[in-house]
Amino acid sequence: MALYELKSLGLVCPFPLLEAKEKMEQLEKGDALKIEFDCTQGTEAIPRWAAEAGHEVTDYEQIGDAAWSITIVKR
């Protein structure tokens, strides 16, 4: 399993989600993608997309006052 990082801080919605989808397509099953973002809509949209796509959210936390980090494993 490899861990990849996607820093989407400063991008407005829906760009963090779009970038996450694009990056996830490039990964192998079992690889993890850690996404850092500060778009409040992404706090619901990114975990929902991951669940609907069948991926596993392994870590989700707030970093700072208005940013989040989520780690998703490709299934």
39 an active-site residue?
Answer: no
> Per the residue annotation, which of 6, 13, 27, 67 is the catalytic one?
13
Q: What are the DSSP calls for the chain, one per residue?
A: --EEEEE-TTPPTTHHHHHHHHHHHHSPTT-EEEEEE--TTHHHHHHHHHHHTT-EEEEEEE-SSS-EEEEEE--
Active site residues: 13
